[in-house]
Amino acid sequence: MNKNSFNFLDRIDSLNKNQTQLFDLIVIGGGITGAGILLDASSRGLNTLLLEKKDFASGTSGRSTKLIHGGLRYLKEFEFSLVRKVGKERAIVFNNAPHLIVPQKLLLPIYKNGTFKKWQLSIALKLYDWLAGVKKNERKKIFNFNKTILKEPTLNKEGLVGAGFYSEYRTDDARLTLEIIKTAINFNAEAYNYLEVRTIKKSNNIFHVKAYDTVNNISFEFKSKQLVNASGPWTDDIRKKNNSISKEKICLSKGVHIVLKHENLPIKNPVYFDTLDKRMCFAIPRNNCTYVGTTDTLYEKSEKKEPTPNIKDITYILDSVNSCFDVPKLKLNNVISSWTGLRPLILEEGKKTSEISRKDELIIAQNKMISIAGGKLTGYRLMAKKVVDLIVNNLDRSEKCYTSEIKISGSKNINQENVNEVKIRLREKLAEIEIHSNELDYLFHNYGSQLTKIITLLKTNRYNTIVEAEAHFCIMEENLYYPLDFFLRRTSKLYYSPEKIEEEIILVTPIFSKLLNLNSDEIKLLINQLLAYKKRLTNFNDD
């Protein structure tokens, strides 16, 4: 395997070089689906290029509930095949990226007049365990009232009957997407963020894709034999640029999550609970916080880049939390941050977004551009396989998919059994340089085995804080240019510790300036961009 550079230092030279190439495949979209396709195609030996108009995972794939889960709620729609497939995929992702996947036991409280009766939930979870291939020691349990309160004392006791207790997996969706792309880079793939596709033409069986570098304000043109549109909410926009859309196939569902300090919602376990209108909602403890979501409402605005929650969305979540948990009443001022994602769903006339299937679908244009939409985070690898199988067939090649066996970047020498042992060794390495971090869990689950590189940077550059070494690492190895992307998607600090941003931006600014050769005016603009975004995280509107 070769490794292309993955930073901004030689970006222009790299882009110019790739204008002279004829790629086997160009992928438009740097979310989880595009990342999966990039890895599958490059690992099969296809010369593959990915273009993302913003940052990697800046759309749907960085704004999910951050669970690798089997979709218990899809049993209610009788989508047994979907549950079976994504259940098996959970095990594969956990095996290939054990540092990014955290096993969690979810508590699902049972209330009188709730979504499930006790016997119904017992059957549903048993079926779920069977379909998803859950290991024997991780299978469901059904608790009575007393055991439920022992497990989760914060639950509202009125009408509480008991609870189900079952297995799911938590992840960081943006980190998972990025690490998959980095893995593909090791298979000689090329991937660029901030490269917006402007035009698509096909002549003599070759696609010509013009893209605009929004960082350097330069246009480039790339050529490929095959073209895949994996742009999520922008699927129909790319189809229009390809002149291949007769009617819209995609509808968008808005999903809002809020973040609270853990002391305001001090749950011991992730909880999957009923909202006031009998939908299901997650409350998940993480990084000294608890995040809660999600909503599921039709999104019809033309602005898709930065969807925001409104007062109605936030109030809906807070009212549901206040109804289910016996804690001091939560109000708007308890929300420390939020994120809003748009789910690209296959349009089904007459159905609410919550009723539309999450199955993926291929749309093949007259000129053979392939669009893929729908699907779930957990099923990204299967969606990629479906697409690349078709690409390989179109190219009259025969390479088979083997991504189920490919370890994801950051998982070197880490497996499901030795996670705690690796953490202990890393803690000792930090202690050697007199850094006794209480953030080891965050660092390990963010970087995995790559944390040793960050520790080396701490030593060799004599940085005083870990965040400085993190910034250095991400600039050099994760195609990072904007401080906003560092605090939002490389580290998630904007979500879970927004109160520290002003202090930490002062620490990392000199590193951005030095490594990226930015002048003071450029740095000032980037800092203002970050601070303006931070303000938006809790700036809810009334529409």
Distance of CA 124 to the CA centre of its chain: 27
Are 272 and 159 contained in the same domain? yes
Give percent above pLDDT 70 in the chain. 94
Are 212 and 274 contained in the same domain? no
Number of domains observed in the structure of the chain: 3
d(CA 222, CA 71): 39
Are 266 and 234 contained in the same domain? no
Are 276 and 220 contained in the same domain? no
Across the range 33-49, mean pLDDT stands at 98
CATH number, domain of 37, equals: 3.50.50.60
CATH number, domain of 306, equals: 3.30.9.10
On whether residue 157 sits in a domain, the answer given is yes
Please name the helix (run of DSSP H) or strand (run of DSSP E) that holds residue 297, with its range, or none: strand 297-299
Give 355's pLDDT tier (boundaries 50, 70, 90).
low
Q: Are strands 218-229 and 370-373 parallel, antiparallel or unpaired?
A: parallel
The pLDDT value given to residue 352: 64
Are 394 and 525 contained in the same domain? no
The pLDDT value given to residue 478: 97
Are 156 and 179 contained in the same domain? no
Domain, as residue range, for 25: 11-60+174-249+359-405
Phi first, then psi, for residue 480 (nearest 5°) are: -95, 135
Are 423 and 513 contained in the same domain? yes
The pLDDT value given to residue 332: 94
d(CA 488, CA 496): 10
CA distances in angstroms from 138 to 85, 454, 502, listed in the order given? 18, 34, 42
Are 153 and 299 contained in the same domain? yes
Please name the helix (run of DSSP H) or strand (run of DSSP E) that holds residue 71, with its range, or none: none
Examine the pLDDT at 298 and tell me if it is beyond 90. no
CA distances in angstroms from 315 to 31, 45, 246, 276, 540, listed in the order given? 29, 50, 39, 11, 10
DSSP three-state, residue 335:
strand
- The lowest-confidence range among 346-355, 376-385, 532-541 is 346-355
pLDDT in tens, 267-279: 999 999 988 888 8
| Partner residues linked to 242 by β-bridges | none
Give percent above pLDDT 90 in the chain. 68
pLDDT in tens, 219-246: 999 999 999 999 999 999 999 999 887 6
Nearest to 369 by CA among 211, 244, 227: 227
On whether residue 122 sits in a domain, the answer given is yes
Within 78-117, residue ranges assigned H as helices are 80-96
182: left (phi over 0), alpha (psi -120 to 50) or beta: alpha
Are 242 and 369 contained in the same domain? yes
CATH number, domain of 485, equals: 1.10.8.870
d(CA 235, CA 541): 27
- The lowest-confidence range among 138-142, 422-426, 441-445 is 138-142
**Residue-averaged pLDDT of the chain:** 90
Examine the pLDDT at 350 and tell me if it is beyond 80. no
Are 468 and 499 contained in the same domain? yes
On whether residue 496 sits in a domain, the answer given is yes
How much is the pTM? 0.95
> Which residues, 6+ apart, have CB-to-CB distance to 121 below 8 Å?
108, 110, 142, 164
Are 272 and 162 contained in the same domain? yes
On whether residue 510 sits in a domain, the answer given is yes
Examine the pLDDT at 541 and tell me if it is beyond 90. no
On whether residue 446 sits in a domain, the answer given is yes
d(CA 56, CA 15): 17
Are 397 and 313 contained in the same domain? no
pLDDT in tens, 243-265: 887 676 888 899 999 999 999 99
On whether residue 77 sits in a domain, the answer given is no
The pLDDT value given to residue 4: 73
> Which residues, 6+ apart, have CB-to-CB distance to 232 below 8 Å?
29, 31, 33, 59, 60, 61, 342, 344, 373
The pLDDT value given to residue 98: 94
On whether residue 6 sits in a domain, the answer given is no
Across the range 431-441, mean pLDDT stands at 78
- The lowest-confidence range among 158-162, 334-338, 357-361, 473-477 is 357-361
Asked which of 322, 339, 355 is the last residue of a domain, the reply is 355
Nearest to 69 by CA among 110, 37, 105, 97: 105
